[in-house]
Structure 1
Amino acid sequence: MAIPTKASHSRIYDIFARWSTLSYRYAAWVLLSALLVTVVCGLYVSRNLGINTDTTDMLSEHLPFRVNMKHYNETFPQDMETLLLVLDAPTPEQVYTAAERLAARLKKDTASFYDVYTPNVDVFFERNGLLYESLPELEQITDRLAAAQPLIAHISENPTLSSFTSVLTRAVDELREGRSMELQPVLRGISATFDARVDGSPRALSWQTLFNGEPQKNKYQQLIVVKPKLDYTQLSPAEQPIAALYAAAKDIGVSANGPVRMRITGEVALAEEELNSSLRGMEYAGIITFVMVAIVLYFAMHNAGLIINVLVCLTMGLLLTAAFATAAVGHLNLISIAFAVLYIGLGADFAIHFLLRYREILESGTPPAEAMHLSGGDAGAALTACTITNAIGFYAFMPTDYSGVAELGIISGTGMVISLLVTLTIGPALLRYFPRKVSTKAATKSSVGKVLELSLKWHKLTYAVTFVALVAALAILPRVTFDYNLLNMQAQNGEAIRTFKELLVDADNSPWHATALAGSRKEAERLAQQLAKLPEVTKVVTIFDLLPAEQEEKLSLIEEMALTMGPMTNSMQARPMGGEAQISQRKSLDALAAALDRFIAERPDHPASASVRALKASLAALLARLDAASVDERSRLLQSVEADLLTTLPSALQSMRIATEAVPFGMQDLPESLSSRWKSRSGEYRVAIYPAEDLNDNDALRRFVRAVQQVAPNATGAPMVSLEAGEAVVQAFIQAFLLALAGIVAALLIILRSVKYTLLVLTPLLLSSLFTAAFTVVLDVPFNFANIIALPLLLGLGIDSSLHMVHRSLNNEMVSEVLIHTSTARAIFYSALTALVDFASLMFSSHEGTASMGIMLTVGLTFTLLCTLVILPILLKAPAQSIKV
């Protein structure tokens, strides 16, 4: 098999030798033209380049899961692109009132929102809520209200601390004397209220939970679904609606320091948060990269002029590539926005190879003009081959269904061509002025070459280590996984992601649930029955579940409850706390303490004894706090305790009164805001399917999706989108990798005209790819939607490095012992090091997807460097020895 020589590449060599010489000769005109082009491109990009933050546009709309999602969004458009407001408060009364007021406020803001929906805060549910309770539960509520009616009536007539504690004191005494009373929930609630006030983290007593006989929880939630008006012409489409949400919350008194707190999540908030963290990550990465690249370039060149040359070429190439992206695509997406950081690593490789080759020739004593001619020809031929293989690697993504990466492919592939032309046009022109002089000296062995000599000297050991590593990597390879969970890509400390994951824990109300559509009632009921039988499903909800059963029986109990409550008035209002009032309140608290002491002494074995003892301890702590306080502090503390105990009573009584006005209702009586979310105008029924497991787990996600699809093949929702999108991405990358590999092999065979040397170029690439895949398991960094784009980049970098080595070895007829001491080996090392610091900076991004991409690229490039500079020279050694030097 013939060995190609420089003559076989004479046409490319001559073209770039002359091109570089002309740029060097007419440097002033070239630089002036470049400056004008750069300014024009900069203005063009700043005025025309947009950002498409809609992640659904990153995959082909013809994929089945996207077809299903599109049909659902057209059928129920109100569920598309929404914000989810989560309101938290220590009592159900407070959170209900806040949600009601906030929803009313948001509905008035038609400039920011299309729709505002409160699933559980509605007059309809407030009036008919008791009908959704079971008959046994409703009977218990009725009995408890009957027992508590005298206490409630007395307090509602005179809602003061003195009145409340006096009634409670009588109730404790009656309990001690043997009367049967369900007083434990009240005692526990009051005890917890006192403890919270003494500890400095006050919370109100919930009368609603007392009516229902439930223990008061630490937190109650209400959800509000908001459909904002998004502006995709802006970098942050939801910035204005989110700002309007915070302003509305502030207007109604909801703040981080108050009892009610608002958090914002949902698909729009998650996308907004992801965009912001991604941009911050790229911004920080860009700053760190330029600093680190400059440091690496200093060690590579030890010459300020050459460093300036590289940075100028990088800057101009970056602007020209951005201008191409603006003209060809028109926008960047959340993936293609990474081209800037990636271009720095790849573009620096071109400039470093050219400049180090020029310096190597110049140091041998060759005049500058002739050195430019020789280095332009040598570097031009090698860089053209690298550009072709790199571009093929990127362009291979264009025909795939993953349009997000397809856009990155066309931008970055063309960026490689731009980088070649900029390097061999601007680089020579700058060398006319920077540096003014490069010292000539005898060639000496570089430190890089001295280190690489060890691998040649101990080549048997290198073979053995490589073989062991290869076997280990092949053993680990089956454990390589893909993380389908889009949430795991985001910055995990953001409010939207933390709130969303908190909601996912409750499988019954998980925002990640599937949805199927049925064309008729019969079909909807059939689907619901079949899906409910699946072990992967915890519940299935349809519009028919909104009609409570046994309405007549329940209404009889509700009427009894209304008679029990009777007419109650409340005059809850702020009262001045005078000295007499303080004395009265203190006496009532002391009387309660005495009653509790009597109960503990006389009835130590009573079932309520534990609750009484707890209240006695809490009351003792409160009294001690009062004794230690000043007069003004005592007044404020007593007022606060009174508010803690009684502030929710009016709203609880009002809600209970409205609930006793329930009437029987049918499907036609459901409010439009509710029914329209379960039955579309076209007559299709929505079937909501909730998972039995936390879908944060990828295996649980797959089980749930596949089980549901067996019954409802056209089901959609976040779980389906996440899994199917992940599989589509994996398929796209397999397709692109095979296309790229086939194209690169064909290009190498044409360039090298040798099967043997084509295999030599590919061997380091395949080894580094295998080692990188194995290390994703070792580092527990699975492939995901973001870091999988490292594969084509590593493909291009791997081809670049090994092709430079083989090209220099063949065209200059060098044995490995000489090759490792050339500018080519040094350029490979320093350009790889430049790319390493470029990609490693991504690891520090708060965006998990960007950080994992940084890890993947750093590990992959490290293996590429080792395989190219350590293993490839050994493989080249045997065939190279037959070459006549």
Structure 2
Amino acid sequence: MTTTDNGSESRIYRIFAAWATVCYRHSAWVLFTALLISAGCSIYVSRNLGMNTDTTDMLSRDLPFRVNITHYNKTFPQDVDTLLVVLEAPTPEQVHQATERLAAQLKKDTLNFEDIYPPTAGDFFTRNGLLYESVAELQHITDRVAAAQPLMAHIAGNPTLAAFADVLTGAIEELQKGRDMELSPVLGAVSDTMKARLEGAPRALSWQALFSGESQKSKYQELIIAKPKLNYDQMFPGEQAINALFAAAGDAGITEDGAVRLRITGEVALSHDELSSSLLGMQYAGIITFILVVVVLYFAMRAPGLIINVLVCLAMGLILTAAFATAAVGHVNLISIAFAVLYIGLGADFAIHFLLRYREVLESGNSSTEALHVSGGDAGAALTACTITNAIGFYAFIPTDYSGVAELGIISGTGMIISLLVTLTVAPALLRYLPKRQQAKASAPPKASVGRVLELSLKWHRLTYAATLAASIGALLLLPQVRFDYNLLNLQDQKGKAIQAFRELLAQPDLSPWHSVALAEDKKELARLTQALSKLPEVEKVVSLPDFVPANQEEKLQLIEEMALTVGPIAEVGQDRRVESSLRQQREALDALTVALDNFIAARPEHAAVPAARKLRSSLSSLFEQLDTASPAGQVALLRSLEGDLLVTLPAALESLRTATEANLFGEQDLPPSLSNRWQAQSGEYRLAIYPSEDLNDNNALRRFVRSVQKVAPEVTGAPVVTLEAGEAVVHAFMQAFLLALVGIIVALLVLLRSVKYMLLVLLPLLLSSLFTAAFTVLLDVPFNFANIIALPLLLGLGIDSSLHMVHRSLNNELVSEILIHTSTARAIFYSALTALVDFASLMFSSHRGTASMGIMLTVGLAFTLICTLVILPALLRAPAAGAKARFVR
């Protein structure tokens, strides 16, 4: 009988040996009670467990940066938890009209939105937009509008393709005669519009761009800032508002096949997409993992009954832990929900150790009752030690400032105690019904194969020592390069629509939401901060309320009055004045334009407008080729589409221009409340937006920017500050927790083992695996981040468990390493780690980068834990001191 003698049996050994035997004898009552408790707990959890997806509550409110952001959020509540609606179109006219329509539609939906703010839309900016141009730019626009006046007046009277071609023909003829006209932009723009239509990627001609003299861009964007009403009791708090936004877009005429493209980003959309991709990755990983875990358990147990036993213990333990979480905390958050993953990894370890030890004793020729007594005592004593150290490791997170992980510590630490009780209660009861003694003998092959592999490290122990030393030195050299990635955007699925839209906004300084904010109590403080911050090399610009009052308004208004005289006589564009042209008339007008272009190119080859004329001439040739090969109906459709491309934005451009000529002198007090309230709070405080000069995707640039701004404005806040400070708070919380855990575990091991030497032997594999894992984060370029750092508690738990099992079995059963590696303990460690590996390796393939990095961290960490425990530790245990023996406290 493989056990200790009665004199050496500890009190814990006797208690659990007797308990396992009782549960085995009264298995029916035990299982019936367990079933009732599990059913009751399941109902309780389903009705009461909440989900808190608000990430802002995961760090202590007393941290300075949380105090600052809380004050800012109270001062400017409209900027908290927003959706950024990005509208994009080929012309500024189209995107502006769509923005106004959608904003008006959203303002009606008070059920889903608290506030709707389109920063560049509305009557104020339409009326006073020209005042924000420089004097030189405004003079240029005035001259161009005056030059284009005849063209616009003629087309406005008859907005057709034929009339447009006639006007261009006349202008080119005047140009050929020597008249000074700037036609190159018009000719180039018309050519580009025509070419786009012929190539099957149509885009409208922007008359507003022609007026300003700018080359038409490939796209124009405007934003709407929407503050949705969130429901944190739901898994996706912003889902209802996002769906309502898409519905409102449809009502506003913004469709997927239209000219205007709609995208949604911002805090709420990013969180929604992140949670969605994370859960989707978990679902696929869960299916794969379940299959692989069953396969691993089959090779470990070689008996279906034992596999079912492990799965039943896992399921019940998980239910009971969820019930405790419901009672003690009331909800799970995006971090504490990881207790399920942690429990699977560690709970399986408990059940596997107990069942493999039972089978080992059973194979020695003992009866089921004797095997239960020995395995219950041995496994119970070892698992109790593991439970104590694991619970200490998890509970060490409770006093940290990272409340999200503190809740994880409460739930998971208690979950380990639950796992111990479930394993040593339910597993013995199930053994009476599930496995038979004959089935256990099928485990001989894996025992021999695992043992033979592990023998190599003992045979070549000097090489093992040398390799361990060399690897440790190399890892120590890489340790200074270990880094923490503060950028939350790097955690998300980079193919997600919200993250792609957000990154595009970051590339545009005027639209970028990635800036810091500071508050000034009065105008004097505002001026001081603006001046000091603007001098910093890390700052690109500082924007505040006074910047919305343009300078030199009197001089600009004089130019605008000149423009009004030019625009005034132009009639409004209307379909009622449109004279329908026949196909023949349109073709004749285009032919005449072609002739005029040929004559101009031939007569004035050195003229500056010739390149644009050649370009338009080439586009006309391509148009004629398509017309000649098309049916009459196809020709009509093509020319009608081209007419729309060229003239669709003219009415909006003229209307906007007319409104802009009605600008008036205004001051800060005349700014619309929707604007001023976002820059000056009711308390009187002013907001400053501080934009970085560097790309904050670089963590070093992020740190430089934040620290530099904090020297001038210590209470600065905003996304860059919160990102950096939250990351440092998380790192500090984990360092604090691990120091507390290490101290607690050392004390527990000294009490349990009564030996400094064997306490160090238990800790050494954990420390080595941690060192190697940290080094591999550098080699694999997978830095620590907000997601994968959560893997550390599990690695701590499994590392302590594995080495403690080995040391305990070696000492309490007086086994040398050559025998130890062939025991059920070594096999249980191997298969427990393998179960956890397949549990987490599938996460590496998740589209969510945070989840994938967690999978990489867990896989690498568990692999090193396995190597350190089963290869390095047996080599260190191969020659224990004579008579050295550790026992658990009696």
**Cα RMSD over matched residues?**
1.6
Structure 2: tracts of 5 or more residues without a match: none
Who is 1:547 aligned against? Answer: 549
CA–CA distance in structure 1, aligned partners of residues 845 and 343 of structure 2: 19
Report if aligned partners of 2:302, 2:440 keep a CA contact under 8 Å in 1: no
* Aligned residue number for residue 39 of structure 1: 39
Measured in 1, the distance between the counterparts of 2:637 and 2:542 equals 51
Alignment of structure 1 residues 13-32 onto 2, 5 Å: 13-32=13-32
Separation in 1 of the partners of 2:157 and 2:168? 15
- Which residue does the alignment assign to 2:282? 282
CA contact (8 A) 1:814 1:880 kept: no
Shift of residue 443, structure 1, vs aligned partner: 7.1
Letter in 1 for 2:600: F
Change (3 A) 1:131 1:575: closer
CA change 1:424–1:133 in 2 (3 A) is same
**1:288 shift after superposition:** 2.1
Do the aligned partners of 1:5 and 1:810 also contact (CA within 8 Å) in 2? no
Query: Which deviates more from structure 2 when the two are superposed, residues 594-603 or residues 714-723?
Result: 594-603
Q: What corresponds to 1:517 in structure 2?
A: 519
Match of 1:233 in 2: 233
Q: Distance in 1 between matches of 2:274 and 2:579?
A: 51
Q: Distance in 2 between matches of 1:5 and 1:173?
A: 115
Matches within 5 A, 1:360-375: 360-375=360-375
1:80-159 maps to which residues of 2 (within 5 A)? 80-159=80-159
Rate the CA distance shift 1:881–1:608 in 2: closer, same or farther, 3 A.
Answer: farther
Summarize the Cα distance change of 1:342–1:284 in structure 2 as closer, same or farther, 3 Å threshold.
Answer: farther
Matched residues in 2 for 1:144 and 1:623: separation? 31
| Aligned length, in residue pairs | 881
Matched, 1:72 2:77: no
Q: Corresponding residue for 1:216?
A: 216
Give 2:534's match in structure 1, choosing from 532, 536, 555: 532
Tell me the amino acid that sits aligned with residue 348 of structure 1: A
Secondary structure of residue in 2 paired with 1:625: helix
Q: Do the aligned partners of 1:87 and 1:262 also contact (CA within 8 Å) in 2?
A: yes
- The answer for the alignment partner of 1:675 in structure 2 is 676
CA positional deviation for 1:797: 0.6
Report if aligned partners of 1:764, 1:802 keep a CA contact under 8 Å in 2. Answer: yes
TM-aligned CA deviation for residue 231 of structure 1: 1.1
Partner of 2:518: helix, strand, or coil? Answer: strand
| Shift in Å, 1:576 | 10
Matches within 5 A, 1:700-719: 700-719=701-720
Between the aligned partners of 2:436 and 2:776, the Cα distance in structure 1 is: 46
Question: For residue 329 of structure 2, what is the aligned residue in structure 1?
Answer: 329
Equivalent residue, structure 2, for 1:378: 378
* 2:559 aligned with 1:557: yes
Shift of 1:30: 0.7
Question: What's the offset of the Cα at 1:882?
Answer: 5.7
Q: Cα gap change, 1:815/1:127 in structure 2, threshold over 3 Å: closer, same or farther?
A: same
2:106, 2:113 within 8 Å by CA — same for their partners in 1? Answer: yes
Query: CA 1:622 to 1:797, structure 2 compared with 1: closer, same or farther past 3 Å?
Result: same
Q: Deviations over 1:512-550 (max 9, x none)?
A: 101000000010011001101111111101100111111
Write out aligned runs for 1:185-204 (5 A): 185-204=185-204
SS of corresponding position for 2:438: coil
Whether contact under 8 Å (1:394, 1:412) holds in the other structure is yes
Deviations 1:833-858 (A, max 9, x none): 00111111221222211111111011
Larger mean CA deviation between 448-457 and 839-848 belongs to 839-848
Question: How far apart are the structure 2 equivalents of 1:884 and 1:728?
Answer: 43
Q: Which residue of 2 aligns with 1:834?
A: 835
Please give the residue correspondences for 1:366-445 in structure 2 after superposition, counting only pairs within 5 Å. Answer: 366-439=366-439
* Range with greater deviation from structure 2 (128-137 or 85-94): 128-137
**1:437 Cα offset (Å):** 3.5
Q: Which residue of 1 aligns with 2:294?
A: 294
Q: Residue 687 of structure 1: SS of its match in structure 2?
A: strand
> Partner of 1:455 in structure 2?
457
Deviation at 1:881, TM superposition (A): 6.2
Match of 1:51 in 2: 51
The whole-number CA distance in structure 2 between the counterparts of 1:268 and 1:757 is 51
Q: Aligned residue for 1:249?
A: 249
SS at match of 1:878: coil
CA deviation digits over 1:814-850, x for unaligned, max 9? 0110000000000000000001111112212222111
Q: Which residue in 2 is equivalent to 1:500?
A: 502
1:57-113 CA distance string (max 9 Å, x none) = 010000000000000001011111110000000000000000000000100111111
What's the CA shift string for 1:446-496, capped at 9, x where partnerless?
Answer: 210000111100111111111111111011000000000111111211111
Separation of aligned partners in 1, 2:843 and 2:386: 25
**Letter matched to residue 227 of structure 1:** K
Higher mean alpha-carbon deviation, 769-778 vs 430-439, is at 430-439
1:8 CA drift (Å): 5.8
Separation (CA, whole Å) in 1 of partners of 2:148 and 2:493: 50
Instruction: Report percent identity of matched pairs.
Output: 70
Contact 2:773 2:864 in 1 (8 A): yes
Residue 790 of structure 1: how far off its partner (Å): 1.6
**2:310 aligned partner:** 310
AA of the residue aligned to 1:182:
E
Q: Distance in 2 between matches of 1:155 and 1:682?
A: 53
Q: Secondary structure at the match of 2:264?
A: strand
Q: Deviations over 1:313-340 (max 9, x none)?
A: 1111111111111111111111111221
SS of structure 2 residue aligned to 1:515 = strand
Q: 1:768: Cα distance to partner?
A: 0.5
Residues in 1 aligned to 2:346 and 2:5: alpha-carbon distance in whole angstroms: 27
The reply to whether residue 855 of structure 1 matches residue 856 of structure 2 is yes
Please give the per-residue CA displacement for 1:242-265, whole angstroms capped at 9, x wherever unaligned.
111000101112122110011000
CA distance in 2, matches of 1:822, 1:727: 44
Partner of 1:446: helix, strand, or coil? helix
- The TM-score normalised by the length of structure 1 is 0.98
CA contact (8 A) 1:508 1:691 kept: no
Query: CA separation of 1:688/1:7 partners in 2, compared to 1, >3 Å: closer, same or farther?
Result: farther
Shift of 1:7: 5.2
User: Contact (CA 8 Å) 2:51, 2:234: kept in 1 or not?
Assistant: yes
For the residues of structure 2 that align with 1:379 and 1:77, how far apart are their CA atoms? 56
The AA in structure 1 aligned to 2:724 is L
Query: Following TM superposition, by how much is the alpha carbon of 1:603 offset from its aligned partner in structure 2, in angstroms?
Result: 1.6
1:810 pairs with 2:811: yes
Do the aligned partners of 2:391 and 2:414 also contact (CA within 8 Å) in 1? yes
Is the CA contact (8 Å cut-off) linking 2:702 and 2:720 kept in structure 1? yes
TM-score by length of 2: 0.97
Counterpart mapping for 1:504-653 below 5 A:
504-573=506-575, 581-653=582-654
Report the residue type matching 2:498 in the other structure. A
Q: 1:659-681 deviations in whole A, cap 9, x for unaligned?
A: 00011011111111010001111
SS of 2:760 mapped into structure 1: helix
Q: Which aligned pairs between 1:792-803 and structure 2 lie closer than 5 A? A: 792-803=793-804
Secondary structure of the 1:507 match is coil
Deviation at 1:223, TM superposition (A): 0.2
Runs of 4+ in 1 over 6 A off after TM superposition: 574-578
Q: Partners of 2:271 and 2:406 in 1: how far apart? A: 21
Q: Residue 688 of structure 1 aligns to which amino acid in structure 2? A: A
Corresponding residue SS for 1:414: helix
Instruction: State the partner residue of 1:170.
Output: 170
The CA deviation at 1:436 is 3.2
What corresponds to 1:752 in structure 2? 753
Question: Matches of 2:855 and 2:8 in 1, distance apart?
Answer: 39
Distance 1:287 1:37 in 2: 27
Matches of 2:46 and 2:717, distance apart in 1? 39
Q: CA deviation at 1:573?
A: 2.8
Deviations 1:753-797 (A, max 9, x none): 000100111111111100000000000000001111222211111
- Secondary structure of 1:70 counterpart: helix
Q: Which amino acid aligns with 2:553?
A: Q
Alignment partner, residue 263 of structure 1: 263
Matched letter for residue 560 of structure 1:
E
AA partner of residue 167 (structure 2): V
